[in-house]
A and B are shown apart, each in its own frame.
Chain A
């Protein structure tokens, strides 16, 4: 390694970056746009299901039930239905996602100490969207039961319950999905943008004939590659820092763990991604081919890494495939540090995996890169 040669490469890359404002904007704007889309638009915690009520009981009791159900935040009243069919139709047509049906004898049964039925129809065609609404309705039922029994017996049942399950949601007690998604975006953006941009920057040199010129100079191949990746390591850090800051300000995403560990692990992840980009650059001869090839890696990154969908729910083959992606491990690191506040003591297996990826991808790609130059 010759310092002057590598420094010239790096300086050249920065000048080229500055001369190409479109790519520069892409690299800086895409993280923000994705942050907004994923942070605001994508919600897996569905709240406020529009709800219609068919109340045949027309009683204080039924109104109280509706009021307490909407108070959970999972249901919002969208009007009244005048028949069961009308309620059902509202859900069928999508005007409402839930319907409450009180029979005529609802209040009467309650007063006489008999079991009073209430039906909650929930549109469960999207399972994740309906889950929390279903749980909220069931929970409300249990609460009402305890309260009613207490009134009837005059005994403070709260102390007498045989089993008291107390769930304490850790790390994200308000269960906001943006808190979970935003740190993941860091990993998504770093890998996707870095793979494409490095692959393109190498293929561009090949297309222009400058790569051919570089290899007849004393520049070693490792020096060419180092010159290519150092500027993008910096770009990666700028992107990551942007998402962290904006995520904190706009979405209240906390940063609980050691930042230094995060930046250190990110280095390994960036190098692994650049190695992948280099590999992709050897799979095509034109910029168009390489862009296409890059998408081969981008889709699994979104779908199989655990970025959007929990890996625990995947069939073994998909999980195994996901375990070949550096992003899978990086997501565990970034979420661990940012959300759980843990550090390298807990995350060393993932860090080790990333180091393995970085070394393997990089040496493999370098070899392939050398071959394509001959």
Chain B
């Protein structure tokens, strides 16, 4: 794993909103093909950090590069190399599966490659039979996989997954993680936020944020170890949240 190139690098990243430091001096490196978790209670700075890494928010301090582009200087280049799947899935419910895929293929400017890429996405995300169905009538798991397909339409090097499994049944969650690991094995870097600590246990590495600071970083085993040998990730999460309150 360590021979892989660094794809995401945050260097003392910071952002203030008025008097509040939402993110303060956060640094980490993520290598190609890693599944990297960003964990922490609400208000810990996860969302702000992710928005900066996506090129949506200009860093207030420090710097970051994602997929070879600087987030402050080249946000448009960043956007063309990353994918982003939000909690709300961001699908057009009044468009069919095929129309959603075609729309995002066009938005990413795939041109000639469009048809082949849509065919790939439908196979890879297990959507083959669903083409003419309206996105609004899909099950939670199907919507989730369609959102994933849309956000990967342009073969991004880095994929941000913001609570991707919220409100999805266990069978669909399992299928989703199978697909995510397949994509990671192909070299796509995954940055994931989640509130399910059982999912986090299976990430390659993770960072715990609290009040904008890095509290712990490393493999799940390393993070647990930092807080005490018989702690689970859930114990770590709860203790951070209580310290916050």
Contact residues of A with B, CB < 8 Å? 2, 4-5, 7-9, 11-12, 15-16, 19-20, 208-210, 212-220, 374
What is the total of A-B residue contacts with beta carbons within 8 Å?
73
- Report the nearest A residue to B92, measured CB to CB: A210
The answer to whether B57 and A9 have CB atoms under 8 Å apart is: no
Q: Are B56 and A209 in contact (CB under 8 A)?
A: no
Judged by a CB distance under 8 angstroms, whether B27 is at the interface is no
> A18's closest neighbor in chain B, by CB?
B94
Whether the Cβ atoms of A11 and B106 lie closer than 8 Å is: yes
Q: Are A12 and B108 in contact (CB under 8 A)?
A: no
- Stretch touching chain A among B1-9, B76-84, B166-174, B231-239: B76-84
Q: Give every chain B residue within 8 A of A217 (Cβ-Cβ).
A: 79, 104, 107-108
Distance in angstroms from B23 CB to nearest chain A CB is 16
* Minimum CB distance partner of A209 in chain B: B88
Check A4–B106 contact: CB distance below 8 A: yes
Q: B107–A212 contact, CB under 8 A?
A: no
State the 7 A-B residue pairs at the shortest beta-carbon distance, nearest first. Answer: A8-B106, A213-B90, A209-B88, A216-B84, A19-B94, A218-B80, A12-B103
Known: A216-B56, A217-B104. Contact between A12 and B109, CB under 8 A?
no
A215 and B56 contacting across the interface, CB-CB below 8 Å:
yes
Known: A216-B54, A218-B107. A210 touches B90 (CB 8 A): yes
Q: Tell me which of A2, A15, A209 contacts B89 (CB under 8 A).
A: A209
- Does B95 make an interface contact (CB < 8 A)? yes
Residues of B contacting A5 in the complex (Cβ-Cβ under 8 angstroms): 106-107, 109
Query: Is B111 positioned at the interface, with any CB of A under 8 Å from its CB?
Result: yes
Hey, which chain B residues are within 8 Å of A216, CB to CB?
54, 56, 79, 82, 84, 160
Q: Is the CB of B99 within 8 A of A2?
A: no
Given contact pairs A8-B106, A213-B90, A216-B82, a sample of 10 additional A-B residue pairs in the complex whose CB atoms are under 8 Å apart = A4-B106, A4-B109, A11-B106, A12-B99, A12-B103, A208-B90, A209-B87, A213-B86, A217-B79, A218-B76
**For B94, what are the chain A residues with a Cβ–Cβ distance below 8 Å?**
15-16, 19-20
Residues of chain B with a CB closer than 8 A to A218's CB: 76, 79-80, 107-109
Distance (Å) between the CB of A42 and the closest chain B CB?
A: 37
Q: Does B93 contact A (CB under 8 A)?
A: yes
> Is B30 at the interface (CB under 8 A from chain A)?
no
Check A212 against B79 for contact (C-beta < 8 Å): no
CA distance A9 to B102 in the complex (A): 11
Residues of the B chain whose Cβ atoms lie less than 8 Å from the Cβ of A215: 56
Which residue of A4, A12, A214, A374 contacts B111 across the interface (Cβ within 8 Å)? A4
B91 in the interface, Cβ–Cβ < 8 Å? yes
A12 contact set on B, CB distance < 8 A? 92, 95, 99, 103
A residues in contact with B54, CB < 8 Å? 216
- B103 CB contacts on chain A under 8 angstroms: 8, 11-12
- In the bound assembly, the distance between CA atoms of A209 and B143 in angstroms comes to 13
Q: How far is the CA of A213 from the CA of B86 in the complex (A)?
A: 7
Assembled-state Cα–Cα distance A4/B110 (Å)? 9
Take A7-B106, A218-B79 as given contacts and tell me if A209 and B92 are in contact as well, using a CB distance cutoff of 8 Å: no
B residues 118-161 touching A (CB-CB < 8 Å) = 150-151, 160
Please name all residues of chain A whose beta carbon is closer than 8 Å to the beta carbon of B151 when the two chains form the complex: 213
Chain A nearest CB: distance from B229 CB in Å?
Answer: 40
Contact indicator A213/B84 (Cβ below 8 Å): yes
Residues of B within 8 A of A214 (CB): 90, 107
Complex CA–CA separation, A217 to B111 (angstroms): 16
- Cβ–Cβ < 8 Å partners of B56 in chain A: 215-216, 374
Expressed in whole angstroms, the minimum distance between the Cβ of A24 and any Cβ of chain B is 12
Let me know if A219 and B107 touch, CB within 8 A: yes
Per-residue interface assignment for chain B, residues 50 to 64, with 1 indicating a CB less than 8 Å from any chain A CB and 0 otherwise? 000010110000000
Q: How far is the CA of A16 from the CA of B82 in the complex (A)?
A: 27
CA distance A220 to B90 in the complex (A): 17
Which of chain A's residues has its CB closest to B114's CB?
A4
Q: Is there an interface contact between B79 and A15, defined as CB atoms closer than 8 Å?
A: no
Q: How far is the CA of A4 from the CA of B105 in the complex (A)?
A: 10
CA separation between A217 and B95, bound complex, in Å?
Answer: 18
B152 to chain A, nearest CB (A): 12
**Complex Cα–Cα for A212 and B151 (A):** 12
Q: Which of A7, A15, A19, A213 neighbours the largest number of chain B CB atoms within 10 Å of its CB?
A: A213
Which of chain A's residues has its CB closest to B147's CB? Answer: A213
Q: A16 contacts B90, CB within 8 Å?
A: no
A286 CB, nearest partner CB in chain B, Å: 15
Interface centre among B94, B95, B99 (most CB of A within 10 A): B94
With known contacts A208-B88, A374-B57, A9–B95 Cβ distance under 8 A: no
- Contact: B82 with A212, CB < 8 Å? no
CA distance in complex: A86, B106 (Å): 79
Q: Can you sample 10 A-B contacts with CB below 8 Å? A: A8-B103, A12-B92, A15-B95, A15-B99, A16-B92, A208-B88, A213-B150, A217-B79, A218-B108, A374-B57
What A residues does B108 contact at CB under 8 A? 217-218
